[in-house]
Amino acid sequence: MFDPFEKRTRKFLLWSLFFLFIIFLTFLFFHPKFYENENLESFQYENLTTEEIYNILLTKLKPGDLILNKPISYSERYFYQSNKESLLNNKIIFFIYYNLFELLINSMGEGDYWHVFIYTGNGNLNSLTINGVSLDVITKEFVSSNYFTVLRPNVNDGTKLKAVQRANDRYIDQDIHYSFKNGLIIVFFRGTGINIHPRMRENKLVCSSYAASLYSPINFNDRNFRHVTPIDLIDERITRIILIKNERGFYHEA
């Protein structure tokens, strides 16, 4: 049941309002510098069924791969989210959460993503959420409700295995926490192009900076892991695109 006076709910609503305020100020005072990737149009897309994409995804994925995703629609995302134990299962909170992120994503142009996972093998996904370091499983529902891009870091197998081990350790230890504040700071500096790097604690991150931290000291797009957005992980020097599912269809590396 929705309780606006419950501590976690109050905190979420407060940060949501502050998030909206930051977006408003960004567009009011700055000309946002957003990501665009014309290379997305150069891929050869296919129209495949969810079953076919699911099978290819499980076949192609390797431990250490990074998955950037965003929901296809409000209804698809809520259906997928409602099967999890989370603050976002509440319809009112989810409505606020979804529309705030949708506002930001629509403004930032094609190619921007809501969340980042690291694939740890056996169909398992590890990521940082508002509930802490969490585990997801790749299912047909995940495939049908999300657009995603799979990135493979161009590093040796030892580095990938170390990143996976770090992710597994972080899940056991639960020593990394999601920070709305740091997320707002990252969004603001990304949108405005201001190159100020505020001090952020290593255990107070968002999903993209958490994923980047697993591969530290590698600096995606020359950024310290604390300041990495999902798009920063698409760095042609460090990662290559293995799979894409978006509005155009489905692509996978031969």
Q: Where is pLDDT greater, at 130 or 1? A: 130
Instruction: Give the length of the chain.
Output: 254
pLDDT of res. 97: 61
pLDDT digits (tens, 9 = 90+) for 142-177: 999 899 999 999 999 999 999 999 999 999 999 999
**Range list of H helices, the chain:** 7-29, 50-60, 74-81, 91-108, 140-145, 157-173, 180-192, 207-214
Pairing of strands 204-205, 177-178: parallel
Give the C-alpha distances (Å, rounded to integers) separating 219 from 32, 43, 64, 161.
Answer: 23, 26, 16, 18
pLDDT digits (tens, 9 = 90+) for 18-39: 666 665 555 555 444 445 555 6
What pLDDT band is residue 136 in, cutting at 50, 70 and 90? very high
pLDDT of res. 121: 97
Residue 202 CB contacts under 8 Å (≥ 6 apart), including other chains? 213, 226
What pLDDT band is residue 42 in, cutting at 50, 70 and 90? confident
What pLDDT band is residue 94 in, cutting at 50, 70 and 90? low
pLDDT digits (tens, 9 = 90+) for 218-234: 999 888 899 888 888 99
Residue 163 CB contacts under 8 Å (≥ 6 apart), including other chains? 64, 118, 153, 214, 215
Q: Where is pLDDT greater, at 219 or 13? A: 219
What pLDDT band is residue 247 in, cutting at 50, 70 and 90? confident
pLDDT digits (tens, 9 = 90+) for 180-220: 777 777 766 766 666 666 677 888 998 999 999 999 999 99
Q: Find out whether the peptide bond into 71 is cis, omega within 30 degrees of 0.
A: no
> What is the DSSP secondary structure assignment for residue 230, as one 8-state letter?
G
What pLDDT band is residue 1 in, cutting at 50, 70 and 90? very low
Nearest to 164 by CA among 88, 62, 252: 62
| In the predicted structure, residue 179 carries a pLDDT above the cut 90 | no
Q: Where is pLDDT greater, at 137 or 101? A: 137
Instruction: Write down the pTM of the prediction.
Output: 0.78
Residue 176 CB contacts under 8 Å (≥ 6 apart), including other chains? 128, 132, 133, 170, 203, 205, 210, 213
Nearest to 127 by CA among 202, 239, 207, 181: 207
Task: DSSP for 176-212, please give it.
Answer: -EE-HHHHHHHHHHHHH---------TTEE-HHHHHH
Domains delineated in the chain? 47-252 (3.90.1720)
Pairing of strands 177-178, 115-121: unpaired
Contact 163, 216 (CB under 8 A): no
From CA 205, how far away is CA 203, in angstroms rounded?
A: 6
pLDDT of res. 70: 85
14-28: b or e for each residue (b if 16 or more CB lie within 10 Å)? ebbeebeebbeebee
